[in-house]
Structure 1
Amino acid sequence: MSDFGRKDFTEQMGDKLKPDSQKTTTEKIGDSMSSTYDRAAAAVVPDSQKSTSQKMGDSMRGSSDNAEENGKGVVQSVTDSISNAAQSAKEAITGRK
C-alpha cells in the first residue's frame, strides 16, 4: 500500500503494462503528470517519514527509473516528463505532431 497522496503501486504497474499505443492522449498526460509528482515526492520526502512499503516501492521504482533514464538526474527526469506532457497536450489540441 502506498502512502497517502502517492500513486498506488497497482496503478503504477497498470500504467507500465498498458502500451502507450493503447492509451488515449488524456491517459498519457495523466500518467506523465502523476508519475512526475510521485517521483518528486519520492525524492523530497525523507525515508524516515515513509512507510516500509513506500520505501520498498520507491526503491524498486528508483532502480527501474535509473535503468530507463540511463543516469539522468531527478531534475532532468522531471523536466523531460513535463515537456512530454506538454507535447502530448499540444498534439491533442492541434491534432498533429
Structure 2
Amino acid sequence: MSDLGRKNFSDKVSEAVTPEDQKSGFEKVKETVTDKADEFAAKGTPDNQKSFGQTIADSAKQGHDDAKAEVSGQEATLADTAGEYLEAAKEQAANAVNYVSGVVTGATEGAKKASDSK
C-alpha cells in the first residue's frame, strides 16, 4: 500500500529487479517520471504523516543515496591520492635520471681527463 501521490513499494521492487534491456522505452520514461514524482512527494511529506511502509521505503532510499554519495566521494579522494602518488613518482624518476646522468657525465669526464693526462 502507498500514500496518496506515492509510488507503491511493490512497483519499486518490480522495476528494480526487471533488467533494463527487457523494458520498453515507454516503461523507462514512465519509471523516471514516477520516480521523480515519488521523490518530490517523499520530500514534501513530513515523516509523521507517512505510513509505516513509506517511512521504511524512504529511509532505505535515503540510506542508499547516502552510501552512493559516500562511495563517490571516496572514489574522488582515492583518485586524487593516486594522482599525487603518480606525480611524486614522476618527480623521483626525474631525480634518478638526473643523478644517473650526472654520474655518467662525471665518469666520462674523469676518464677523458685521465686519458688526456697520459
Specify if TM > 0.5: yes
- Measured after TM superposition, the shift of residue 52 of structure 1 is 1.7
User: Following the alignment from structure 1 to structure 2, what is the Cα–Cα distance between the partners of residues 65 and 26?
Assistant: 25
User: Following the alignment from structure 1 to structure 2, what is the Cα–Cα distance between the partners of residues 7 and 36?
Assistant: 10
Which residue pairs with 1:84 in the alignment?
none
* Greater radius of gyration (CA): 2
Cα-Cα RMSD: 1.8
2:5 touches 2:41 (CA, 8 Å); kept in 1?
Answer: no
Which residue pairs with 2:5 in the alignment?
5
The TM-score, its normalising length taken from structure 2, stands at 0.54
Aligned residue pair count? 71
- Measured after TM superposition, the shift of residue 36 of structure 1 is 0.5
- Measured after TM superposition, the shift of residue 57 of structure 1 is 1.2
Q: How does 1:29-44 map to 2 (within 5 A)?
A: 29-44=29-44
Deviations 1:38-68 (A, max 9, x none): 0111111111211122111111122223334
The TM-score, its normalising length taken from structure 1, stands at 0.65
Q: How does 1:10-89 map to 2 (within 5 A)?
A: 10-68=10-68, 70=69
Unaligned stretches of 5+ residues in structure 2: 73-118
Unaligned stretches of 5+ residues in structure 1: 73-97
User: Following the alignment from structure 2 to structure 1, what is the Cα–Cα distance between the partners of residues 50 and 44?
Assistant: 11
- Measured after TM superposition, the shift of residue 8 of structure 1 is 0.5
User: Following the alignment from structure 2 to structure 1, what is the Cα–Cα distance between the partners of residues 65 and 29?
Assistant: 18
3-state secondary structure, aligned to 1:14 = helix
- Measured after TM superposition, the shift of residue 4 of structure 1 is 2.0
Bigger RCO (CA 8 Å, 6+ sep): 1
